[in-house]
Amino acid sequence: MNFEILDRKEENNSTCLLIKASLKDYISTLPSDYDNYDVQRSIVNNSYLDRLVNTILKKGHIPSITLISDKDVNELQNEIVDDFKILDGLQRTHRMKLIYETKELFLRDIKDAYEQLTDFQFKRKFRDQLLEIGSSSNILIEIKKFFEEHGENELNDCFDANYQWFELWSGLSPEDEVRKMLVLNAGHKPVNIKHQLELLFQNILPIMEDVKSGSISIKREKEVSSITFSKQRELGTYHFSHLISALISFLDKKPVTTNTQFIAKMQEDEKKLYELMSYFSYELIEKFIKSVYAIDVAAKREFQDLGTQWVGREVSLVSLFGAIGQQISDVNQIDECIGRLADNFEKCNLLEYEECRNSVDLAKVNIGNINKKNIYNAFIKFSESGFTETINWRDIFSGGDL
């Protein structure tokens, strides 16, 4: 991408260049995996952004897009960059690309082929070609109208002679990238809490991926939402955010609540964050993943699909591992503790748990807090009994809210 430098700003060990480049230059140099950068959220539906075609055709202002490059800032002074990642502006970029590809489709295959059709007929006639590039008939209609009023040269100029501003960062650490992404999105639609949690602890995902066996797979929020996941999971499949919160609960010796306040505290208290990171050794993560899988197998064995669904809920994992963390004094004891729990998992009495859980009056209590407290207390008592006494969920649920 050819660009012109408009301004420059230094920040710690990083540099930000304010640059401008044509939409055509930007879109034509997008990496093939431009939408797969882990720090960014996935493409979302947004009716306002879908109207971006009108802004582009009017050569209107589009808010600046933030890019990062692994190159040293001195290598960027030659006013060309082709190895960037999108830190902020993925949604706008995605739609720019669709609009540009629709324009190219129109000029290449449609402008000389369509007859005087109604908009409805026009949409139907070229529907399959639009589906192939992931575009929409509304974008095509707007491009057709502009072409009929202004001609091909003016249509091309909407990209060739239409300039976009970018902030191009060089020298950011992975931690800086996450912080900037969260700040940049603060005024937009909030980034999903689970996605934020995954970003803060993304450095442990490679370790989890390394220690897991072939029978285990880990899903991220970008692949499937945690809510959808818990309803359709299979044995050995885990949501990354659930594993993080369960591991933190184990270390904190109590179930954590992964809400906005939790994320904000982690971001603000770097000492706490780094302290947690220091505990995430390869050995601990290996023992933890094996423990989750052992419980998963036992739950499936004793309670079939109900057991699989139970393990797939974050509230189950954070409460269970918070209790386990409370009951053992050394991480080396986790294997023995989990082994005894798995061997006696039929005493977890999950059928009764579901009955009690579903009988709670949702209008009077916070069901998330109720379940978390009750599962935690139940497994504390279960552990204290040496995993020999069947859990009485009716007694547990009679205790009230937190």
Do 81 and 211 reside in the same domain of the chain? no
Do 331 and 197 reside in the same domain of the chain? yes
Is residue 181 situated within a structural domain? no
Do 164 and 213 reside in the same domain of the chain? no
Do 83 and 210 reside in the same domain of the chain? no
Is residue 381 situated within a structural domain? yes
Predicted local distance difference test score (pLDDT) of residue 40: 54
Is residue 183 situated within a structural domain? no
Do 73 and 103 reside in the same domain of the chain? yes
How many domains would you assign to the chain?
Answer: 2
Is residue 86 situated within a structural domain? yes
Do 264 and 125 reside in the same domain of the chain? no
Is residue 186 situated within a structural domain? no
Do 163 and 209 reside in the same domain of the chain? no
What's the 3-state SS for the chain? CECEEEEEEEECCEEEEEEEEEHHHHHHCCCCCCCCCCCCCCCCCCCCHHHHHHHHHCCCCCCCEEEEECCCHHHHHHCECCCEEEEECHHHHHHHHHHHHHHHHHHHHHCCCCCCCCHHHHHHHCHHHHHHHCCCHHHHHHHHHHHHHHCHHHHHHHHHCCEEEEEEEECCCHHHHHHHHHHHCCCCCCCCHHHHHHHHCHHHHHHHHHHCCCCCEEECCCCCCHHHHHHHCCCCEEEHHHHHHHHHHHHHCCCCCCCHHHHHHHHHCHHHHHHHHHHCCHHHHHHHHHHHHHHHHHHHHHHHHHHHHHHCCHHHHHHHHHHHHHHCCCHHHHHHHHHHHHHCHHHHCHHHHHHHHHCCCCCCCCHHHHHHHHHHHHHHHHHHCCCCCCCCHHHHHCCCCC
Last residue of a domain, one of 136, 170, 204: 170
Supply the range of the domain harboring residue 393.
192-397
Predicted local distance difference test score (pLDDT) of residue 123: 81
Last residue of a domain, one of 170, 205, 235: 170
Do 304 and 203 reside in the same domain of the chain? yes
Is residue 111 situated within a structural domain? yes
Task: Report residues of the chain scoring pLDDT below 50.
Answer: 186-190, 400-402
Do 120 and 221 reside in the same domain of the chain? no
Q: Tell me the pLDDT tens digit for each residue of 274-296.
A: 666 667 788 888 899 999 999 99
Is residue 185 situated within a structural domain? no
Predicted local distance difference test score (pLDDT) of residue 154: 96
Predicted local distance difference test score (pLDDT) of residue 402: 36
Do 260 and 159 reside in the same domain of the chain? no
Q: Tell me the pLDDT tens digit for each residue of 1-33.
A: 889 999 999 988 899 999 999 999 999 999 888
Q: Over pLDDT 70: what percentage of the chain?
A: 85
